Amino acid sequence: MLAQAAAARGARVDDLLARHGVEPALLEVLDARVPHALLVDLWEHVPRRLGDASLGLRLAQVVPLGTFELVEYCMRNSADLATCYQKLIRWQRLLHDAAGYHFELKGDVARLSHRPAPSLEVPPQATGFILAKLVTIGRQLTGVAFMPRTVSLSYPRPVDDTEHTKVFGTGVRFSQPEVYFEFDRAVFDLRIQGMDPQLSALLERYAQRRLEEIPQAVDWVDDLAHRIRQALRGSVPDAATLARQLGMSTRTLSRRLHERGLTFQEVVDQARKELALRQLLNKDLKVLEVAFQLGFSEVSTFYRAFRRWTGTTPAAYRREAMGT
C-alpha cells in the first residue's frame, strides 16, 4: 500500500526495500511477510518524500475494501460491528506477528485498543492510519457515518490537526500513554451489510489453516532494540549489560548479531534514529535535549549522525514533519 502510494505520486522506495533485503516483486506475493523494520522505514520516509504530514489518515479513507485481504474479508462477513472487530483480534497475526489489537466491552462503552509488543516501534503515521482505517472500515460495512466517543493517540498534537477532526471528530486526545478508540455500545451493535453466513464459515476455515502455517517467531533483535531505546536516557547502554539482560554472554550476543548480518553499534544507531524521529515530533523538546537523551555529548555530533540516518538535519526534519 505504501509503495503504491509513493509510486502514484512519483516517489520511489526501492532504496528502502533494498536496505532490508526485500525485492519489489515480493510485495505482490500473497503469503509473503516482510520485516517490521521495513514497515517503520516506509512509514517514516514515504510521508516525508511526498510532503504529506497526514498521509496515514488520508490513506485510511481511500484504500479500497479488501486491501488487507483475508483478514478484512473475514471481518466483512460478520453479523455486527462487534463481531467484525472480534474477528480482527482472532486473525490479527495474519497481518503482523505482534499487532496487539484488543477489544473490550464495558457497560455502554466499547473500546478497541492497539497495544503492540513493547519491543516494536510504531511510527505516528502508522498509529494514525491503523485507528483511522478501523473506524473507516466500520462506517463502510455498516453504512452508518458514526463518530468515536473518544480517540486516544500516543503522539503529540500536530500543528494542523484538521485531518484528525475530519476522521475522528472532536474527541481526540494526543500524547496519551495508550492508543485506542471508544464507541457507545449501540455503535458496536450495528449490523454489517451483505453478510454471507456460508462464505463466513468458509473464510474462517481458510484463515485458521493459514494461521497454522505461520511459524511462531519471537525476534530477539527487536527485544534488544527495545531495551536500548529504554536505556537511552543520557547515556548509551553497553553490550555487556544488555547481553546479561538477554541471558547470554557478550561474545554470544556479538556472534548472534553477526549471524543476522548486524553489529551491536548498528542496532544502537537504529534505536537512536527511531527514538530521535519520535522525540523530534514533540515540539516542547529542544534539539539539544533530544541529543542529550540519545547519549550524544555534543549537538554537532547528533547533527552529523542524524544527517547520516536521514539525509537532513533535525531542525529541517521537525519543520517538515510538523508542517511548519
Residue 55's H or E segment, with its range, is helix 55-62
In the structure, how many helices (H) and strands (E) does the chain have? 17, 5
CA-closest candidate to residue 1, choices 121, 151, 47 = 47
Chain centroid to CA 104: how far?
A: 21
Amino acid at site 101: Y
Distances (CA, A) of 172 to 59, 131, 158: 19, 11, 12
DSSP 117-183: -TT----HHHHHHHHHHHHHHHHHHH------SEEE-SSPPPS--HHHHHHHTT-EE-S-SS-EEEE
pLDDT of residue 297: 85
Tens digits of pLDDT across the chain (324 residues)? 999 999 999 998 999 888 888 888 888 887 788 888 889 889 999 999 999 999 999 999 998 877 888 999 999 999 999 999 999 999 998 998 878 899 888 888 999 999 887 667 889 999 999 999 999 999 999 999 999 999 999 999 998 999 999 999 999 999 998 999 999 989 989 999 988 888 999 999 999 888 888 766 556 787 788 888 888 887 888 999 898 887 778 888 898 888 777 899 988 988 888 888 888 888 888 999 999 989 888 899 999 999 888 888 888 888 776 655
Residues 6+ away with beta carbon under 8 Å from 204: 74
C-alpha–C-alpha distance, residues 145 and 168, integer Å: 11
pTM assigned to the model: 0.71
pLDDT of residue 281: 81
Copy the grid coordinates of residue 127.
498509529
pLDDT of residue 33: 82
- Name beta bridge partners: 105: 110
SS3 of residue 101 by DSSP: strand
C-alpha–C-alpha distance, residues 255 and 196, integer Å: 53
Residue 25's H or E segment, with its range, is none
SS3 of residue 265 by DSSP: helix
Domains of the chain (ranges; CATH) run 1-52 (no CATH), 65-213 (no CATH), 220-322 (1.10.10.60)
CA-closest candidate to residue 187, choices 246, 144, 251, 136 = 144
C-alpha–C-alpha distance, residues 275 and 293, integer Å: 9
Kindly provide the residue ranges of all beta strands, DSSP E only, lying in the chain, ordered along the sequence. 101-106, 109-114, 150-152, 172-173, 180-184
pLDDT of residue 217: 55
